[in-house]
Chain A
Amino acid sequence: MNSAAILSELRYLAPEIAMLAVAAAAMFVHLFFPRRGRRWAGYVAFAGIAATCGVLLLTPQSSGVIMAGTLVADRFAVFLKLTALVSALLTIGLSFRFFDVEGGEPGEIYYLLPLALVGIMAAVSSADLITTYVAFEVFAIPSYILAGVFKKERRSGEAGVKYFFLGSLSSALMLLGMALVFGLTGETSYAVISRSLQDINTHLALTGMILFFSGLFFKAALVPFHQWAPDVYEGAPTPLVVFLSTAPKAAVFAILIRSMITIFTGFRAEWSLIFQGIALVTMFWGNLAALIQTNIKRMMAYSAIAQAGYIVIGLAAWGELAQTAVLFYLFIYVFMNAAAFGLILLVRKGGTFGETIDDMRGLARRSPGAAAAILVVLLSLTGIPPTAGFMGKYFLFAAAVEKGMYLVVVAGALNSVISLFYYFKIGRAMFMEAPEASAAVSAPARRSAWAEIVIGVSAVIVLIWGLFPSLLSDFAASSVLIRF
């Protein structure tokens, strides 16, 4: 492959290049305008990421591999990149609110986020083991900083360090798995490996797959590789948790799906079983652990874990419908998570944001609109119509029923019931309990309505896609990955 061909293929990378430009622009604004630069860097990042969404949709897609077989720029990638970008947009919106109230805005986040996005976008597109690994690290390093960026809060530093150590561990696991696969085949490209792995010692290859997947499960916080998540989510600044809990999953699920149908296509029975098991324990563990939390942030951390468990059902139930369901759910998951964590930014107690369920008491009287929007999102998280969350679960369950996986479906259905209990602790506090008599709990001194905007937009979108799911599911269905 000559360099001219590679240069001409750069046009497929327009979104990644644009995102790098956004990061650079935000960094310069932050550096050269010391007084207002921090917030302006944020605006630059927000506008830049939004523009990149447009670039992403306009960039031509290639049907085959590009850049010497390391990347793919297909519709599947576009869908998941869009998912990550939207997550970043919502994160920045919530960050404005968070730092408006807390002060001490770290301008770094506005170029670290685009940098992390570049990593995620590359990982989503990657079709080569080395590229996958490097892309994940490009994402991981900024994200460790993002978790620990809020210096005022000790827990944030702790979260950053924890995330760093456990993240490195997961990278190591993934690398080990890759090394096994590479050792067996002598190849790094997914497509090539898939041809040569067929007739190779299956035990070693299976071990390689399990290690590789374990690393990915770690990054997606699936049980039993989830222990870091609640601590990190609790400590990290709330808006950034939205990003950390959703965007990497787009990359993880992309890699999982790509590798499932190429490298590990011969292990279909094994990985289906693994995914069923992971789905079961993730749903149950996440939901049961969420039941006993009193801190909303921790509760939502476990909720985010459990929600990912539902998505894994779609991986287990391999097929076009299942993949549509996975894409659909990942996309709405971003909105639901943003609103669920954004809820914390609505209430101020003492010098911090109200983090316990009791702090939400009487919110429906203080701000009925926001409470109604949160209610819609809670319904969606539980999976009650007419919300997108219901439709997402419905597609996932349907895919599993199609394959006769009744056990996971029944378990998933049961988990919806379990989750109702803790989600509606918040509903109950907002609507049914009287606000505390003391004035300790109040709305934050308002300087911006960003949290309300993010929650409101999420609620409206979740409702629209619940009533007219085809708007999103057709897009998802046309983006499924059938083959390279």
Chain B
Amino acid sequence: MTLLGIPILTFVTFFPLAGILVVLLLPGKRGKAIKLAANIVTGLELLATLFLLTGFNGASGEMQFLERAVWIPSFHVQYLLGIDGISLLLVLLTSLLTFLATLSSWAAIKDRLKEYYIFLLLLEVGMIGVFVSLDLVLFYVFWEVMLVPMYFLIGIWGGERKLYAAIKFFLYTLFGSVMMLVGILVMYFHYGTFDYMAILQSGSVLPGTLQMWVFLAFALGFAIKVPMFPFHTWLPDAHVEAPTAGSVILAGVLLKMGTYGFLRFSLPFFPDASRKFVPLMIVLALISIVYGALVSLMQKDMKKLIAYSSVSHMGFVMLGLFTFSPLAVKGAVLQMINHGISTGALFLIVGVLYERRHTRLISEFGGLSSRMPVYAAVFLIISMSSIGLPGLNGFIGEFMILMGAWTVNWVWAAIAATGIVLGAGYMLWLYQRVMFGKLTNPANESLKDLTLREFATFLPLIILAFWIGIMPKPFLDVLDKPVEKIVRIVNPGYYETAAQAPVRLPAPVPAKAGSSEAR
């Protein structure tokens, strides 16, 4: 499939570069033109990624829209792109959130517009590239390319401690990724290729101890990105100091790269090591869930609260992935999308207040619902989505993960469930302190409700939250086969026992969730 004569995946990956060129050519003084250009480009990019849907075969577990070219012949490095259902959803999430982040920057960013939008567009190239590349070196290149614009977004347009936060983010993630690079090289000398599909088709795996070390090398890169406890300390700093758009993209997309990496590469490449490290990964995931939620409870800064809630939510995703049950893995992917939607929206919500009041301290607010009714409604829906209220997106993902975890080990599910309770606690408490009560702070008297542009940024996210909450089937359908493929490698026992005793399968998800796992 092509778009304007260019193979579609190449097009969606590099289209933002065209935007960079346009922004570069516009004179720096024409602020409005620059903004408009960036918004149009990210909007077109969103349409281009949606165009992928027209040719995508959701019933297939194979990589689609494959593009293959030789890049570094002497080293068997290829320019190899392709997507399956998992990547498709993440690409769509990326283009949507980038578009909304760009839109949300309209009034928030006032100086050095040109550089800002260049970095934002460059970031999009890196992010999409990560999700569509199937050659390990190419993947690594995109993975690293993305760090640079994010570093500058935090460091130039960030808050008070931006310099510290920016370099901390860069150092942490680079540390993880260089270890991954070493792992990638070790794999090359075993398989003689960087081709993802060829490695899986070879059917061989690295020998025992080596496999464990390489698993750890990859896991370090991914775990820092997720971030899992104890590698999470860069996250609160980066999230809090980043400008709103930066936080949205950090939480919405960048964190997903870690979990995507685990699912796409770690599980199928290192099945034995993955199984061996289940206890470690699950314990870290559970600590992330509970610890993240507990720390969220005691935050005074709204952004910090949401940042730590991300640690907790991403812990859920990790729990789902390492149960190796198709149900929970699908739930985990869906939860990645859900977290992108709800946390992205939450950062936008905080951004709205920050733009008006230039503070994010919870104690500065209170009783805002009387002044900003539309805002209050949006905030409420998104909070509920983050908590996991049935009927909204968060519920489906968490429920699937918990169910999958329950069938493997009920203790995991029980501990993780406390995270949901705590999650409801910190979100509702936050909402109560900011929106309800009497409006006591005179500075809040004149707060204006959402503008049309701001509302437009929330609308797609709210629609998606309801859509996934009520009708998750189309999303889960595209995940079926790709997830099955991965689970078959890492947990072949699952399908054997399932074939023998189909009755052992968990009861269908309640009708409201709309997803039937009966097989």
Contact = CB atoms under 8 A, between A and B. Distances in A.
Interface of A: 324, 364, 379, 384-386, 390, 394-395, 397-398, 401-402, 406, 409-410, 413-414, 416-417, 420-421, 424, 428, 431-433, 469-470, 473-474, 477
B82 interface: no
B114 to A, nearest CB: 9
Contact of B178 (A379, A401, A417): A417
A397 B185 contact: yes
Contacts of A470: 71-74
B133 to A, nearest CB: 12
Contacts of A386: 141, 145
B261 interface: no
Given A428-B155, A433-B163, A470-B73, 6 more contacts: A364-B115, A379-B148, A401-B185, A413-B182, A414-B178, A424-B170
B209 to A, nearest CB: 12
Nearest to A403: B189
Most B CB within 10 A of own CB, among A379, A401, A410: A401
B428 interface: no
A432 B73 CA distance: 39
A401 B73 contact: no
Given A394-B181, A424-B170, A470-B73, A417 B162 contact: no
29 contacts: A324-B74, A384-B144, A385-B144, A386-B141, A386-B145, A390-B144, A394-B185, A395-B75, A397-B181, A398-B75, A398-B188, A401-B185, A402-B189, A406-B186, A413-B181, A413-B182, A417-B178, A420-B170, A420-B171, A424-B170, A428-B163, A428-B166, A428-B167, A431-B156, A432-B152, A432-B155, A433-B163, A470-B72, A470-B73
A390 B166 CA distance: 21
B319 to A, nearest CB: 29
Contacts of B166: 428, 432
B179 interface: yes
B152 A431 contact: yes
B174 interface: yes
A410 B144 contact: no
A470 to B, nearest CB: 5
Contacts of A420: 170-171, 174
A385 B75 CA distance: 16
A426 to B, nearest CB: 12
A386 B115 CA distance: 19
B410 interface: no
B174 A417 contact: yes
B212 to A, nearest CB: 13
Interface of B: 71-75, 115, 137, 140-141, 144-145, 147-148, 151-152, 155-156, 162-163, 166-167, 170-171, 174-175, 178-179, 181-182, 185-186, 188-189
Contacts of B148: 379, 384
Nearest to A418: B171
A315 B166 CA distance: 36
B358 to A, nearest CB: 19
B139 to A, nearest CB: 11
A89 B90 CA distance: 48
A409 B182 contact: yes
Grouping DSSP codes into helix (H, G, I), strand (E, B) and loop, the A interface class, with mixed when no group exceeds half, is: helix
B171 A421 contact: yes
Contacts of A432: 152, 155-156, 162-163, 166
Contacts of B140: 385
Contacts, number: 84
Nearest to A420: B174
A234 B422 CA distance: 58
A413 B186 CA distance: 14
Contacts of B156: 431-432
A416 B178 contact: yes
A385 B170 CA distance: 14
A170 to B, nearest CB: 33
A123 B245 CA distance: 56
A470 B155 CA distance: 34
Q: Which 7 A-B pairs have the closest CB atoms?
A: A413-B178, A385-B141, A401-B185, A432-B155, A417-B175, A398-B185, A385-B144
A420 B166 CA distance: 12
Contact of B186 (A401, A421, A428, A474): A401
B174 A416 contact: yes
Contact of B179 (A364, A398, A402, A413): A413
A41 B403 CA distance: 81
A414 B177 CA distance: 10
Contacts of A421: 167, 171
Nearest to B137: A394
B206 to A, nearest CB: 13
B178 A474 contact: no
A410 B179 contact: yes
A428 B167 CA distance: 9
Contacts of B185: 394, 397-398, 401, 409
A54 to B, nearest CB: 26
Nearest to A364: B115
Nearest to B176: A417
Contact of B171 (A384, A409, A413, A417): A417
A473 B76 CA distance: 13
B73 A406 contact: no
A406 B185 CA distance: 10
A319 B48 CA distance: 46
Most B CB within 10 A of own CB, among A417, A469, A474: A417
A371 to B, nearest CB: 10
Contacts of B74: 324, 470, 473-474, 477
Contacts of B167: 421, 424, 428
Contacts of B141: 385-386, 390
Contacts of B137: 394
Contacts of B163: 428, 432-433
A416 B72 CA distance: 23
Nearest to B73: A470
A315 B188 CA distance: 21
A390 B178 CA distance: 11
A469 B374 CA distance: 54
A386 B137 CA distance: 11
A390 B71 CA distance: 15
Contacts of A390: 141, 144
B81 to A, nearest CB: 16
A99 B182 CA distance: 45
Contacts of A397: 181-182, 185
A428 B163 CA distance: 8
Contacts of B147: 384
A474 B72 CA distance: 9
Most A CB within 10 A of own CB, among B137, B144, B189: B144
A39 to B, nearest CB: 36
Nearest to A410: B182
B441 to A, nearest CB: 32
B204 to A, nearest CB: 18
Most B CB within 10 A of own CB, among A394, A406, A410, A421: A394
Most B CB within 10 A of own CB, among A364, A390, A413, A470: A413
Contacts of B186: 401, 406
A395 B77 CA distance: 12
A217 B316 CA distance: 53
Contacts of A384: 144-145, 147-148, 174
Contacts of A410: 179, 182
Contacts of B188: 398, 401
A240 to B, nearest CB: 32
A441 to B, nearest CB: 19
Given A428-B163, A470-B73, A470-B74, A401 B182 contact: yes
A473 B166 CA distance: 34
A410 B175 CA distance: 11
Most B CB within 10 A of own CB, among A324, A390, A397, A432: A432
Nearest to B152: A431
Nearest to B187: A401
A417 B170 CA distance: 9
A395 B151 CA distance: 26
